[in-house]
A and B are shown apart, each in its own frame.
Chain A
Amino acid sequence: MFVARSIAADHKDLIHDVSYDFHGRRMATCSSDQSVKVWDKSENGEWLCTASWKTHSGSVWRVTWAHPEFGQVLASCSFDRTAAVWEEIVGESNDKQRGLSHWIKRTTLVDSRTSVTDVKFAPKHMGLMLATCSADGVVRIYEAPDVMNLSQWSLQHEISCKLSCSCISWNPSSSRAHPPMFAVGSDDSNITYGGKVQIYEYNENTRKYSKAETLMTVTDAVHDIAFAPNLGRSFHVLAIATKDVRIFKLVPLRKESTTTGPTKFEVQIVAQFDNHNSQVWRVSWNITSTLLASSGDDGCVRLWKANYMDNWKCTGILKGDGSPLTGLSGQPTAMSTVVGSSLQTSQNALNGLSAGRIAKRASFAPPLRQLTSPKINQSPAYY
């Protein structure tokens, strides 16, 4: 891994969230400076800021994109107790030429009486819906019944979780076998309050969300939570950022036909890592859920990967080294990594280029000459 590019975000305060759009061609950033910026990737891979505007009257915690089926829509949530929905409108042609776009506020969701800590759009098969959670322990689910009119959002559900909420994640499964489901985490640090992760499931009959499960083993403050893409499996995988990184498997138990209550789950812990030493703040899956990334108090982003036997391991660490940025080469190196010292031993594996002899460069023809020898760079692509 290597730093390929740096982007001057130019926020006047801390950045709290960066979010890619569905196709990875746009990105949104939000900050304590109360603004959101939208960035577009140019042909040559450069990120250009095409919009920047004040969104809230407090720190903006999270920003997230709706699925492009619904157009270009963003949601943000803030310390100012609100969440907001933004839509890009296709502006005048001269704006486009100047590389600018216009975002207008479609709605402000003002139901929370405390800081809104997370906002997430529901999986697209559910329609245009979003969930917010807030420090007062309430999850709210809103819906835009007319996707062409985003100024109309109705509060569909208000679910009291009793504990201050810090994060929410929708189960992305679109299988008919899985009713809509989300997990909510609480950053309440009082361990006597019990499990800090609750799973809610939608009931077709009552048309309400009800609690299906509380992960009783997670008693410390939870800062982030993420369902993995389902991959057509019958069970669900959930990553949790608490005092460590945990990965759980939720296996639905067979329902008895008479009961109409929520699904019961067998909760299995798949992995638990305390490498961050202290609090873990974010967890997130890549597209195919083959990699989990987490960030923590140790200042590192760690990448976790399972091998084909489902053993999870840390395979990469990103670490701030504090050195000033000097001329990043935009030119990525191919097939080479950090060259370890082990490579420089005098034992040359193949072509016997003895130490001290200078190989003269001549035209290359197979079979290969002594300029190079087969070498392997030790860098894990753990499998």
Chain B
Amino acid sequence: MEEVDVEPAVTNIPGIRHGKHMGFAWGPGDILVYETLHRASGATGSGCSFIYMVRKDEDIYSPILRKLFNESHHIFVGLQTIKEDLPSKSKKPQFVSISRNYRSVIRACMEELQQVAVSTKEAEMSTQYGNQVSILLAIELIWNLCEVLFIDAAPAGSLLLHLLDWVRLHKADVDEKAKLVLQSDSPAEHRDYWDVVVSYVLQGRLEEARQMLVKQATLRPAARNMFKLMDSLLQKMPFYNPGGTQTLTEFDVKWRNWHEEVDRCLKDNSFASNHHLELICKILLGDEDTLLERKELLSSWYHFLVTRLLYCHPTVKPTELHFYAQSCMTMFLDLSVPEPLDNILLAAFEFDIHQVIKDCSIALNNWWFVAHLTDLLDHCKLLQSHNLHFGSNLREFLLLEYAAGLFTHHSLWQCAVDYFDHCPEFGRVYLELQIERVPLDTERKALKVLRICEERQMSEQVRSICKIMAMRALRNNRLGSALSWSIRAKDAAFATLISERFLQDYCAKGTFSDLDLIDNLGPAMLLSDRLTFLGKYREFHKLYGEKRFREAAKLLLSLMTAKIAPRSFWMTLLTDALPLLEQKEVIFSADQTYELMYCLEELTSSLDAAAPGPDRPMQEEDIEVTKVELLRLALARNLASAIVKEGTVET
């Protein structure tokens, strides 16, 4: 397949001088550029000191189009859940209905855009909205045709009926005109009267054409028979009924008979006295020249095509379409150059799905359309049947592009996650790369991102997000938050560091902050030794506060003997033991007191070994010595009372 070579789009950056070097930096959804000079050594020279932010994907910033993205996301997710194992026949109606859902979302969006385009006072904005409507119109037009040809894949007979619906839907200005005509005082004399009648005939809306003709007939009693004849021709035109019992061949015979009758009427000059009716008669015969004379009423080659098929080949087969399409386009456009839209539609008539997708990707400035259409066609197993070995790659490629665009938006990124989930090859790694870049502005947003990662077992991203949050909290001195984030990150080193801070804070202030958190650590306490100690130490304080002295004492002692407490903290622990030792009631048993004494000795001997540093101020040394002496005294006294108590037989 030949590559269409498209010139890359050039974006001019005002303010950067022509021919100067341009530096750049990728951002999320944009690229920054600035004027610079790239030279190897010590470059200086005044440049213009502006940085320009160039956006690439603009659609997502339109609030109305955002609805399109949001709603189509739901349809997309629904489509992905259609069971693979269903027989393809029973799936077809589902696919058609999904296709219609997509189109109705496009239509709803168009309506809204149209309304704001009309109501806005600014001319510039109005044009802008108008442009968007044009693009959506084109998208819906193409989508609808693809639905008829590929998804519904109507056979001969029904095919034309579908095409007629397609043209009627997209060439609806006749209704507008008809309304004006009918509302006028004398419709039959209205300037646009015949345009409306002819337009109805061109679209095969014969019932409506007849009703219009009645108005004219009553005005001209002299030509009554002629009008009656036309009315009967219009009434008699057979339409294929796919639900009925009639076979296609039977229909064909009937249609031919009718066609011959119309031909006879023309030949015997039945309408010669009224050129309007003669024109209609010629249209009913599918006369090319006549049709081409009414180009402005047809307005497009594909309307011309469908009208021609209606009156010449109503049983056209899908495989024959391309031939008629090509010739109609050539005839209708004459010498003017086909626009991208023409080529896309022609490719569809040629059943060249790949070319449709490709041309749409090139011609449309957004991935929404191609991604969703290709996905749907892929589900219909149409990409394979057209012998594109890269079918599913193409689907994934387009979905990834679309989702990556969504990801740059501050709220649409959540929709993008589902698209990535349904891209088996690169979806996950794309999501990993993108999701860790979502700005974690608030704890709430961080939790949202985290949940998405957790649901997908993205352990590295989970760890990283928690670590970022922990670091941020620590930098802002929010120790509790930092601790809970590092517990979530299972970051032992960081948990140790924060526990250390908690203990330092306690030593300095004598109180703990974030009690709730520390009290409810549970098994998370085991993440790091220091955290375990922090939790246990706080437990000691709680027991003490609740006057459960024995339990408190036991815990305090175990913190040292089981080496849970860092050596640097032993003195604080021993000092905490002081009030327990001084209680009237004996709390530490003799054995426990021995152990406390042992701890104190171990601590003081190691302190001695370290030798009093010269930088240590004398005063501090004194306090330490006094403390130790006080402790020794208290321990000795407690030991004495404990021995007495334990030796006393209770009577």
Binding site for B on A (CB under 8 A): 1-20, 22-25, 27, 29, 32, 58-59, 68-72, 79, 90, 115, 124, 148, 166, 174, 187, 223, 229, 231-232, 279, 281-282, 284-288, 290-291, 293, 295-303, 307-309, 311, 313-326, 328, 331-339, 342-343, 345, 347-352, 354, 361-383
| Pair B51/A9 contact, Cβ less than 8 Å | yes
Q: How far, in whole Å, are A276 and B162 apart by their CA atoms in the complex?
A: 51
Between-chain CB contacts (< 8 Å), 16 pairs: A4-B54, A12-B49, A15-B36, A23-B440, A71-B475, A290-B401, A298-B19, A301-B31, A322-B17, A324-B14, A325-B50, A339-B131, A368-B170, A371-B130, A378-B340, A383-B401
Q: Mark B378-417, 1 if CB is under 8 A from A, else 0.
A: 0000000000001001101110110010000000000000
| Pair A370/B173 contact, Cβ less than 8 Å | yes
| Pair B476/A90 contact, Cβ less than 8 Å | yes
Known: A1-B54, A284-B26, A382-B362. A367 touches B170 (CB 8 A): yes
Q: How far, in whole Å, are A275 and B115 apart by their CA atoms in the complex?
A: 45
Q: How far, in whole Å, are A311 and B390 apart by their CA atoms in the complex?
A: 14
User: Is B224 part of the binding interface, using a Cβ–Cβ cutoff of 8 Å?
Assistant: no
Count chain A CB atoms within 10 A of each CB in B299, B361, B367, B434 and give the residue with the most: B299
Shortest CB–CB separation between residue B293 and chain A, in angstroms?
Answer: 14
Q: How far, in whole Å, are A177 and B318 apart by their CA atoms in the complex?
A: 53
Shortest CB–CB separation between residue A351 and chain B, in angstroms?
Answer: 5
Across the interface, which residues of A come within 8 angstroms of B56, CB to CB? 1, 316
| Pair A68/B471 contact, Cβ less than 8 Å | yes
User: Is B132 part of the binding interface, using a Cβ–Cβ cutoff of 8 Å?
Assistant: yes
B 590-637 contacts with A by CB, 8 A: none
| Pair A376/B6 contact, Cβ less than 8 Å | no
Q: How far, in whole Å, are A123 and B135 apart by their CA atoms in the complex?
A: 43
| Pair A174/B468 contact, Cβ less than 8 Å | no
Q: How far, in whole Å, are A56 and B437 apart by their CA atoms in the complex?
A: 30
B 130-174 contacts with A by CB, 8 A: 130-141, 169-173
User: Is B23 part of the binding interface, using a Cβ–Cβ cutoff of 8 Å?
Assistant: yes
Shortest CB–CB separation between residue A35 and chain B, in angstroms?
Answer: 12
Q: Mark B347-374, 1 if CB is under 8 A from A, else 0.
A: 0000000000010011111110010000
Known: A288-B404, A381-B362. A301 touches B22 (CB 8 A): yes
Across the interface, which residues of B come within 8 angstroms of A23, CB to CB? 28, 437-440
Shortest CB–CB separation between residue B450 and chain A, in angstroms?
Answer: 15
User: Is B296 part of the binding interface, using a Cβ–Cβ cutoff of 8 Å?
Assistant: yes
Known: A15-B49, A319-B10, A350-B300. A375 touches B22 (CB 8 A): no
Known: A287-B437, A315-B9. A376 touches B138 (CB 8 A): yes
Shortest CB–CB separation between residue B407 and chain A, in angstroms?
Answer: 9
| Pair B24/A287 contact, Cβ less than 8 Å | no
Q: How far, in whole Å, are A71 and B141 apart by their CA atoms in the complex?
A: 52
Across the interface, which residues of A come within 8 angstroms of B170, CB to CB? 350, 367-368, 374
| Pair B31/A20 contact, Cβ less than 8 Å | no
Shortest CB–CB separation between residue A303 and chain B, in angstroms?
Answer: 8
Known: A14-B44, A293-B24. A350 touches B299 (CB 8 A): yes
Q: How far, in whole Å, are A279 and B38 apart by their CA atoms in the complex?
A: 10
User: Is B219 part of the binding interface, using a Cβ–Cβ cutoff of 8 Å?
Assistant: no
Known: A375-B131, A380-B362. A349 touches B14 (CB 8 A): no
Across the interface, which residues of B come within 8 angstroms of A20, CB to CB? 25-28, 32
| Pair A231/B426 contact, Cβ less than 8 Å | yes
Across the interface, which residues of A come within 8 angstroms of B27, CB to CB? 20, 24, 27
Known: A71-B475, A379-B9. A59 touches B404 (CB 8 A): no
Q: How far, in whole Å, are A242 and B220 apart by their CA atoms in the complex?
A: 84
Known: A69-B464, A90-B477, A321-B12. A19 touches B25 (CB 8 A): yes
Contact of A369 among B15, B176, B366 (CB under 8 A): B176
Shortest CB–CB separation between residue B237 and chain A, in angstroms?
Answer: 24
| Pair B22/A320 contact, Cβ less than 8 Å | yes
User: Is B53 part of the binding interface, using a Cβ–Cβ cutoff of 8 Å?
Assistant: yes
Q: How far, in whole Å, are A157 and B43 apart by their CA atoms in the complex?
A: 30
Across the interface, which residues of B come within 8 angstroms of A347, CB to CB? 300, 333, 336, 339
Q: How far, in whole Å, are A249 and B131 apart by their CA atoms in the complex?
A: 42
| Pair A10/B49 contact, Cβ less than 8 Å | yes
| Pair A376/B111 contact, Cβ less than 8 Å | no
User: Is B457 part of the binding interface, using a Cβ–Cβ cutoff of 8 Å?
Assistant: no
Closest residue of B by beta carbon distance from A221? B40
User: Is B297 part of the binding interface, using a Cβ–Cβ cutoff of 8 Å?
Assistant: yes
User: Is B342 part of the binding interface, using a Cβ–Cβ cutoff of 8 Å?
Assistant: yes
Interface size class, chain B: 35 or more
Known: A287-B26, A335-B365. A2 touches B55 (CB 8 A): yes
Across the interface, which residues of B come within 8 angstroms of A279, CB to CB? 38
| Pair A32/B53 contact, Cβ less than 8 Å | no
Shortest CB–CB separation between residue B464 and chain A, in angstroms?
Answer: 6
Shortest CB–CB separation between residue B476 and chain A, in angstroms?
Answer: 6
| Pair A295/B23 contact, Cβ less than 8 Å | yes
| Pair A124/B464 contact, Cβ less than 8 Å | yes
Contact of B11 among A287, A314, A316, A334 (CB under 8 A): A316
Shortest CB–CB separation between residue A54 and chain B, in angstroms?
Answer: 15
| Pair B26/A293 contact, Cβ less than 8 Å | yes
Contact of B21 among A32, A297, A309, A381 (CB under 8 A): A297
| Pair A376/B426 contact, Cβ less than 8 Å | no
Q: How far, in whole Å, are A216 and B7 apart by their CA atoms in the complex?
A: 33
Known: A13-B46, A90-B475, A301-B33. A320 touches B16 (CB 8 A): yes
Across the interface, which residues of B come within 8 angstroms of A174, CB to CB? 460
Known: A23-B439, A320-B18, A354-B296. A368 touches B114 (CB 8 A): yes
Closest residue of B by beta carbon distance from A89? B475
| Pair B8/A317 contact, Cβ less than 8 Å | yes
Q: How far, in whole Å, are A21 and B58 apart by their CA atoms in the complex?
A: 22
Q: A287-B28, A314-B8, A364-B115 are in contact. List 10 more A-B contacts (CB 8 A).
A: A1-B11, A3-B53, A9-B50, A10-B49, A229-B433, A296-B21, A335-B132, A350-B171, A363-B115, A377-B364
| Pair A318/B54 contact, Cβ less than 8 Å | yes
Known: A3-B13, A369-B172, A383-B361. A15 touches B23 (CB 8 A): yes
B 71-129 contacts with A by CB, 8 A: 107, 110-111, 114-115, 117-118, 125, 128
| Pair B61/A334 contact, Cβ less than 8 Å | yes
Known: A72-B475, A383-B358. A308 touches B46 (CB 8 A): no
Q: How far, in whole Å, are A27 and B51 apart by their CA atoms in the complex?
A: 11
| Pair B25/A18 contact, Cβ less than 8 Å | yes
Count chain A CB atoms within 10 A of each CB in B13, B110, B398 and give the residue with the most: B13
Count chain B CB atoms within 10 A of each CB in A4, A17, A297, A324 and give the residue with the most: A4
Contact of B53 among A4, A334, A374 (CB under 8 A): A4
User: Is B522 part of the binding interface, using a Cβ–Cβ cutoff of 8 Å?
Assistant: no
Q: How far, in whole Å, are A145 and B400 apart by their CA atoms in the complex?
A: 39
B 466-509 contacts with A by CB, 8 A: 467-468, 471-472, 475-477, 497
| Pair A348/B299 contact, Cβ less than 8 Å | yes
User: Is B261 part of the binding interface, using a Cβ–Cβ cutoff of 8 Å?
Assistant: no
Across the interface, which residues of B come within 8 angstroms of A231, CB to CB? 426, 429-430, 433
Across the interface, which residues of B come within 8 angstroms of A16, CB to CB? 23, 36, 43
Across the interface, which residues of B come within 8 angstroms of A319, CB to CB? 10-13, 18
| Pair A374/B9 contact, Cβ less than 8 Å | no
User: Is B576 part of the binding interface, using a Cβ–Cβ cutoff of 8 Å?
Assistant: no
User: Is B331 part of the binding interface, using a Cβ–Cβ cutoff of 8 Å?
Assistant: no
Across the interface, which residues of B come within 8 angstroms of A335, CB to CB? 58-59, 62, 65, 131-132, 135-136, 365-366
Q: How far, in whole Å, are A380 and B55 apart by their CA atoms in the complex?
A: 15
| Pair A381/B51 contact, Cβ less than 8 Å | no
B 152-206 contacts with A by CB, 8 A: 169-173, 175-176
Shortest CB–CB separation between residue B572 and chain A, in angstroms?
Answer: 23
User: Is B375 part of the binding interface, using a Cβ–Cβ cutoff of 8 Å?
Assistant: no
Known: A375-B138, A376-B340, A383-B397. A290 touches B404 (CB 8 A): yes
Across the interface, which residues of A come within 8 angstroms of B339, CB to CB? 342-343, 345, 347, 349, 376
| Pair B398/A332 contact, Cβ less than 8 Å | no
Across the interface, which residues of A come within 8 angstroms of B299, CB to CB? 348-352
Closest residue of A by beta carbon distance from B62? A334
Across the interface, which residues of A come within 8 angstroms of B21, CB to CB? 281, 295-297, 299
